[in-house]
């Protein structure tokens, strides 16, 4: 990137920057190859006082093992829980990852026609990447993908061995998302010299590491950089509007073929933008709303160009669901039918993996969701892996796609620096997820201090920006502020409210839940006249702990809280309440605190994915709700999982 930024090359420079607009999920095709770099990497945490020895000694210049000890570290995974060293579990600062990989000769020989890209699914929080000692990219943010074109470096090197070094910093500041701060403890009677801790205001452990797959993939040098698909429905006709951007040449042609799952051609098109019409389309329906939920068409985009007098072809196939989303003052409509969110909040969290992507866990979680009769979840409190989002598309699990703005509790979190980064995060999130039918709404934050004066301008800006990039989806943020004092609510399409009656206050007093919840809904609705989702509610329970009459932390209390909430939800869902998302799907790790027993225990499943009593209460409820709202209720029986 750097060398092109002289005045003479300004034009070239802006073209080169236009390069990295797209972030298509890497998929193999006739023209694209893919090599996963998952597995064991070399690893070292920089324990030097300033955490900067790696930069001073330039650890990226030669193999990491040559400038000090290394340990084995799996990718994807969090690094925190994998050794017996408490200092690594609580580590704050720079850690170094390295992988050496042999590239196929075919990737290296034809530089004129082959492009090699390194892509990281996500790495928490700040990353710098070198290939063969050359700095190729930096990225801020722990939950979204980034990539670098490394063709020049690997194709110029003498051998096929390629060394990838990633320095990763998990330090959070008042301007990161999520925000945090480093507290230096200067009282030498209590703390050793230079002692510091990382403070955060969000309730989950700040797991760090390379959390999602790292891959190398190829494209031709003239390639499909991005595809944008939006769908509408006019009577019996589905309209798929597309825009394709191509990088590398201006002389090319594009052919588009929309296919059924089994390959039959539905319709074709050509050119970089246009509309494909599907008569009597099979719509994308949410799980339990239709006997064939999550129906996907496949849009094959074929690019034909010429390089060095020889024809060149690039092919990319995108799953496409045809569906519409529309919000009224009291309803959420999918394909014109009222949709009620009966689902969960999740986390990407499990035992020693921390937040590392794990296929068995993903499949188990989707099986539990479907067993439960959940039709939706919110990606609390950060974007989830693309591999998870793919299954939401395929199974019809509806998603409220949330960005990592959680724990914004101080004025310092609402300044221009935070805002500028927040806008970039929304751009990156929409760039990644814009084509997903499962994503029906963006959430720009969770429980910010939205009553603070700067929150008004802040949320107005973030929400306006989000709507400008994606005019097709509603936008929300999740509030736990007072209905009258919340300064962001005027800008949202749907009100999302979290409350924990008889848990964080009125502790033990189940009898006040109904009154307080009824008041909550009525006040919010009277004030804003917008549909409302109960976006969090719940209670902690220690699995196997019983007490009756119910006391806090027993399974009985957990289920009693849920039932009190449900009785009011059942009244208000006939009016303007459009959903309920339990907090939480499963127990998860947090910072240590007197209220947290090895983490947050509000899961209806344990961290090992075994059901608590609350899971059975919700299962009965969700299937009943599905039965009421579904088009296929007569056939709806508990499926076998």
Ligand X SMILES: *[C@@H]1O[C@H](CO)[C@@H](O)[C@H](O)[C@H]1NC(C)=O
Binding site for ligand X (CB under 6 A): 1-2, 51, 92-94, 126, 128, 135, 138, 169, 171, 228, 230, 241, 243, 251, 306, 415-416, 430, 434, 469-471, 623-624, 627, 633-634, 636-638
How far does Cα 35 stand from its chain's mean position? 23
For the record, the structure tokens of 550 come out as 């119910």
Compute the distance between CA of residue 279 and CA of residue 269 in angstroms, rounded to an integer. Answer: 15
Of the two residues 250 and 264, which places its CB atom closer to ligand X in the complex? Answer: 250
Number of neighbouring beta carbons within 10 Å of residue 95: 23
CB of 601 to ligand X, least distance (A): 28
Of the two residues 126 and 341, which places its CB atom closer to ligand X in the complex? Answer: 126
CB 286 within 8 A of CB 396: yes
Of the two residues 337 and 421, which places its CB atom closer to ligand X in the complex? Answer: 421
Q: Which residue from 109, 118, 223 is spatially nearest to 156, judged by alpha carbons? A: 109
CB of 640 to ligand X, least distance (A): 13
Tell the burial category of 371 from Cβ atoms under 10 Å away from its Cβ (0-12, 13-18, 19+).
middle
Of the two residues 46 and 358, which places its CB atom closer to ligand X in the complex? Answer: 46
Compute the distance between CA of residue 476 and CA of residue 579 in angstroms, rounded to an integer. Answer: 14
CB 279 within 8 A of CB 234: no
CB of 139 to ligand X, least distance (A): 11
Compute the distance between CA of residue 35 and CA of residue 100 in angstroms, rounded to an integer. Answer: 13
Looking at the DSSP bridge assignments, the partners of residue 168 are 95, 127
E strand intervals along 153-291: 161-169, 180-184, 196-200, 209-210, 214-220, 223-234, 237-247, 253-259, 265-270, 273-279
CB of 606 to ligand X, least distance (A): 24
DSSP string across 405-457? -B---SGGGGSHHHHHHHHHHHHHHHHHHTT-TTEEEEEEEES--TTSTHHHH
Of the two residues 41 and 623, which places its CB atom closer to ligand X in the complex? Answer: 623
Of the two residues 306 and 575, which places its CB atom closer to ligand X in the complex? Answer: 306
Compute the distance between CA of residue 379 and CA of residue 377 in angstroms, rounded to an integer. Answer: 6
Number of residues that this document lists for the chain: 641
CB of 68 to ligand X, least distance (A): 18
Of the two residues 495 and 626, which places its CB atom closer to ligand X in the complex? Answer: 626
Tell the burial category of 378 from Cβ atoms under 10 Å away from its Cβ (0-12, 13-18, 19+).
buried
CB 79 within 8 A of CB 95: yes
For the record, the structure tokens of 74 come out as 């799996």
Of the two residues 469 and 613, which places its CB atom closer to ligand X in the complex? Answer: 469
Q: What is the DSSP letter of 556?
A: H
Of the two residues 482 and 639, which places its CB atom closer to ligand X in the complex? Answer: 639
CB of 421 to ligand X, least distance (A): 12
Compute the distance between CA of residue 336 and CA of residue 585 in angstroms, rounded to an integer. Answer: 29
CB 245 within 8 A of CB 225: yes
CB of 416 to ligand X, least distance (A): 4
CB of 579 to ligand X, least distance (A): 19
Number of neighbouring beta carbons within 10 Å of residue 66: 9
Residues 6+ apart with CB under 8 A from 438: 294, 321, 389, 392, 393, 396, 397, 398, 399
CB of 251 to ligand X, least distance (A): 4
In the three-class reduction of DSSP (H, G, I as helix; E, B as strand; rest coil), residue 628 is classed as helix
CB of 514 to ligand X, least distance (A): 25
Of the two residues 89 and 527, which places its CB atom closer to ligand X in the complex? Answer: 89
94 phi/psi in degrees, rounded to 5: -95, 130
Instruction: Report how far apart, in Å, the C-alpha atoms of 376 and of each of 232, 335, 395, 535, 581 are.
Output: 22, 16, 10, 11, 8
| Helix and strand totals (H; E) in the chain | 12, 32
What residues act catalytically? Answer: 447
Task: Dihedral sign for Cα 25, 120, 378, 562, please.
Answer: positive
Of the two residues 28 and 306, which places its CB atom closer to ligand X in the complex? Answer: 306
327 phi/psi in degrees, rounded to 5: -115, 130
CB of 552 to ligand X, least distance (A): 31
Residues 182-220: b if buried by 16+ CB within 10 A, e if exposed: eeeeeeeeeeeeeeeebebbbbbbbbbbbbbbbbbbbbb
């Amino acid at each position: 990137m750097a060398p092109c930024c002289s005045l003479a090359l300004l034009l070239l420079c802006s073209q080169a920057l236009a390069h990295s607009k797209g972030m298509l999920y890497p998929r193999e095709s006739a023209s694209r190859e893919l090599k996963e770099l998952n597995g064991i990497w070399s690893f070292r945490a920089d324990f030097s006082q300033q955490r900067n020895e790696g930069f001073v000694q330039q650890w990226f210049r030669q193999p990491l093992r040559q400038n000090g000890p290394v340990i084995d570290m799996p990718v994807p995974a969090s690094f925190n829980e994998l050794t017996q060293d408490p200092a690594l579990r609580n580590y704050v600062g720079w850690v170094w990852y390295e992988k050496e990989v042999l590239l196929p000769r075919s990737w290296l020989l034809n530089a004129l026609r082959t492009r090699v890209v390194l892509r990281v699914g996500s790495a928490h929080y700040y990353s710098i990447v070198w290939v063969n000692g050359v700095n190729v990219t930096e990225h801020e943010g722990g939950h979204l993908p980034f990539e670098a074109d490394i063709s020049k470096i690997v194709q110029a090197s003498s051998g096929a061995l390629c060394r990838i070094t990633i320095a990763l910093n998990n330090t959070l500041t008042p301007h990161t998302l999520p925000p945090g701060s480093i507290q230096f403890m200067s009282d030498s009677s209590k703390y050793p010299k230079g002692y510091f801790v990382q403070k955060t205001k969000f309730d989950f452990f700040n797991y760090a590491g390379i959390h999602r797959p790292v891959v190398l993939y190829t494209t031709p040098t003239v390639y499909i950089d991005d595809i944008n698909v939006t769908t509408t429905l006019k009577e019996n006709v589905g309209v798929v509007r597309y825009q394709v951007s191509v990088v590398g040449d201006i002389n090319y042609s594009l052919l588009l073929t929309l296919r059924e799952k089994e390959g039959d051609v539905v319709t074709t098109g050509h050119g970089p933008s246009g509309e494909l019409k599907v008569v009597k389309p099979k719509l994308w329906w949410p799980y339990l709303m239709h006997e064939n939920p999550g129906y996907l068409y496949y849009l094959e985009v074929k690019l034909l160009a010429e390089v060095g007098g020889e024809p060149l072809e690039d092919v990319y196939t995108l799953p496409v669901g045809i569906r519409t989303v529309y919000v009224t003052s009291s309803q959420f409509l999918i394909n014109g039918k009222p949709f009620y969110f009966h689902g969960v909040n999740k986390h990407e969290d499990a035992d020693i993996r921390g937040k590392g992507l794990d296929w068995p866990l993903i499949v188990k979680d989707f099986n539990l969701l479907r067993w439960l009769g959940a039709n939706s979840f919110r990606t609390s409190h950060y974007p989830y892996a693309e591999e998870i989002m793919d299954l939401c598309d395929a199974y019809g699990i509806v998603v409220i796609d949330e960005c990592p703005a959680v724990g914004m509790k101080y004025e310092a979190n609402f300044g221009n620096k935070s805002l500028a980064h927040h806008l970039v995060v929304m751009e990156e999130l929409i760039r990644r997820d814009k084509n997903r039918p499962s994503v029906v709404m963006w959430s720009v934050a969770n429980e910010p201090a939205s009553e603070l004066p700067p929150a008004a301008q802040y949320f107005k800006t973030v929400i306006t920006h989000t709507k400008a990039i994606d005019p097709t989806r509603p936008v929300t943020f999740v509030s736990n502020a007072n209905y009258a004092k919340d300064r962001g609510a005027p800008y949202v399409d749907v009100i999302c409210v979290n409350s924990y009656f008889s848990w964080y206050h009125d502790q033990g007093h189940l009898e006040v839940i109904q009154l307080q919840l009824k008041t909550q809904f009525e006040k919010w609705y009277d004030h804003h006249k917008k549909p409302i989702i109960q976006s969090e509610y719940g209670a902690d329970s220690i699995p196997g702990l019983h007490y009756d009459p119910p006391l806090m932390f027993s399974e009985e209390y957990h289920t009693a809280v849920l039932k009190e909430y449900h009785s009011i939800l059942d009244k208000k869902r006939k009016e303007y309440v459009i959903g309920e998302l339990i907090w939480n799907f499963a127990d998860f790790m947090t910072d240590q605190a007197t209220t947290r027993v090895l983490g947050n225990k509000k899961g209806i499943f344990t961290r090992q994915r075994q059901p608590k009593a609350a899971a059975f209460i919700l299962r009965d409820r969700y299937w009943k709700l599905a039965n009421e709202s579904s088009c296929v209720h007569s056939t709806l029986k508990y499926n076998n999982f």
